[in-house]
Structure 1
């Protein structure tokens, strides 16, 4: 009798356990899974093999982890040397300069201060062929970095345009012409009745800095191909290519022999000599991007 009672008691305990397990499984409200943290935007590199050019593009996200700055040398320097000294992940040649006196023919601002003033370049201001165009030359388009409250913003604007209200100009490098939203080669005196110094409508090696609608920056170079005589991109072609990537604002940089893009230890060049070798020309200024808090800091 006692043995039977013991079996009944054990069976009751077992049934009670099953009931509790069932109740906990189906009656307890389930909690939603914890949301996964959003992935940190990263710098991306892409290349595009076009019929007349190999275009390389580095995209820098519009996030607080990355900053893009202007760089300028006392004389001239290689793009990769600029990048190494700055601890940059990406760098591109930027403003125009006179290779004879190594002075900038573009305005350059760094940390809110004028670092290069083309109005002080005698070979520019003293050129009789340019006298009537100097007002346009001194108002050419530039890439800018603003501090607007706690936010850093990038823009492309004419030199004389004031910063937006509440924004402080930190860095700027002039070049030109503006590529997007419209090509302004004539307004900036890159094309005149008797001059076309950068061959606006001719294919050549090109460099550009561009801004997408989400605020991200594109560093782009169009390199020549060794197997083609008509090689590179014209400025209208470069404009349309950047538009196809979702760019809303873009600036042509000093291209031709100066064209160079550094990315993570490798430098890509744009201009080829007659033997098909890359032309590696030191430049006056660059635009570079680097992490604000490098790994290990």
Structure 2
């Protein structure tokens, strides 16, 4: 009996140890999973939403890239494929002269400046709005000591103390915490009548956006039209803002949408806009945001 008792006690002790190790392993695997970039697809009657979430504690950076000539999103990824796991189309541009209409900075230097786009600055219809156009929302990456921080601010907003602006990509309007369409001249009113709506904010369309949650996670979102409803599908900007808020976003910014809307993940590129026959439109673009794994 004494020998049997010792055997039973040893078995119970071994079981406790194995259970404890299994719990530890489960915790480690869960933490590793939470560090990964997450891709999700949400199907709705009038659109499909593709989202990519980059956890704030992960080993990934979100950085802009600019091209001298217009090229597809997949071309951007191919040219900068080292450690790129995801990408989304970036800021606005003029498809005629291929010059930017959004500010872009890389390595603390402005590399795309809309003030040098003559088709923009010399357009008489836009002259009353240029001050606001040059001060639109931008996605920023700061270096603050050993930490990297992200933010969405107007172009004229100061850089926080003890931080350096590493890079930025302009778009707009800001969607969260408030809609800044009027402040950025996407929408204008005269005598309470809307006289300008540059991107059809309230209309259904393919859209792209970037957001930051309260915890600091980054969300890329691309909304694709329904090929079966080419003339009546997509999402409006207010609806997009509500969707991002539902994901926990506290700050969000619209990116160039419509035919430019595109998103890359895991070797596949998804496009947002469709033509009248429901075929995907693969428009070349000027800039992108890349999600890259840090070394």
Class of the TM-score when normalised by the shorter of the 2 chains: 0.7 to 0.9
Task: Give me the whole-angstrom Cα distance separating, in 1, the residues matched to 2:207 and 2:252.
Answer: 13
**191 and 25 in structure 1: CA distance in 2 versus 1, 3 angstrom threshold:** closer
- Give the structure 2 partner of residue 259 of structure 1: 261
- Give the structure 2 partner of residue 222 of structure 1: 223
- Give the structure 2 partner of residue 139 of structure 1: 135
- Give the structure 1 partner of residue 101 of structure 2: 105
- Give the structure 2 partner of residue 243 of structure 1: 245
**26 and 233 in structure 1: CA distance in 2 versus 1, 3 angstrom threshold:** closer
Question: Residue deviations 1:232-282, cap 9 Å, x none?
Answer: 001001111111111111100000010100111101000001111000001
Task: Give me the whole-angstrom Cα distance separating, in 2, the residues matched to 1:192 and 1:130.
Answer: 11
Task: Extract unaligned runs of 5+ from structure 1.
Answer: 1-13
**25 and 209 in structure 1: CA distance in 2 versus 1, 3 angstrom threshold:** closer
Q: How does 1:58-137 map to 2 (within 5 A)?
A: 58-87=52-81, 88-137=84-133
- Give the structure 2 partner of residue 171 of structure 1: 167
Q: Does 1:39 align with 2:40?
A: no
SS of aligned partner of 2:259: helix
Task: Give me the whole-angstrom Cα distance separating, in 2, the residues matched to 1:64 and 1:20.
Answer: 47
**153 and 20 in structure 1: CA distance in 2 versus 1, 3 angstrom threshold:** same
SS of aligned partner of 2:96: coil
Query: 2:101·2:114 contact (CA, 8 Å) conserved in 1?
Result: yes
Residue 33 of structure 1, CA deviation? 4.2
Task: Give me the whole-angstrom Cα distance separating, in 2, the residues matched to 1:19 and 1:243.
Answer: 60
SS of aligned partner of 1:285: strand
**187 and 33 in structure 1: CA distance in 2 versus 1, 3 angstrom threshold:** same
- Give the structure 1 partner of residue 198 of structure 2: 197
Q: How does 1:204-219 map to 2 (within 5 A)?
A: 204-219=205-220
**153 and 22 in structure 1: CA distance in 2 versus 1, 3 angstrom threshold:** same
Task: Give me the whole-angstrom Cα distance separating, in 2, the residues matched to 1:263 and 1:243.
Answer: 23
Q: TM-score, normalised by structure 1?
A: 0.87
Task: Extract unaligned runs of 5+ from structure 2.
Answer: 190-194
- Give the structure 2 partner of residue 49 of structure 1: 43
Task: Give me the whole-angstrom Cα distance separating, in 1, the residues matched to 2:141 and 2:163.
Answer: 10
Task: Give me the whole-angstrom Cα distance separating, in 2, the residues matched to 1:118 and 1:152.
Answer: 27
Residue 65 of structure 1, CA deviation? 1.1
Equivalent pairs counted in the alignment come to: 277
Residue 155 of structure 1, CA deviation? 0.7
Residue 39 of structure 1, CA deviation? 2.2
Indicate the structure (1 or 2) with the bigger Cα radius of gyration: 1
- Give the structure 2 partner of residue 269 of structure 1: 271
Residue 84 of structure 1, CA deviation? 2.1
Q: TM-score, normalised by structure 2?
A: 0.88
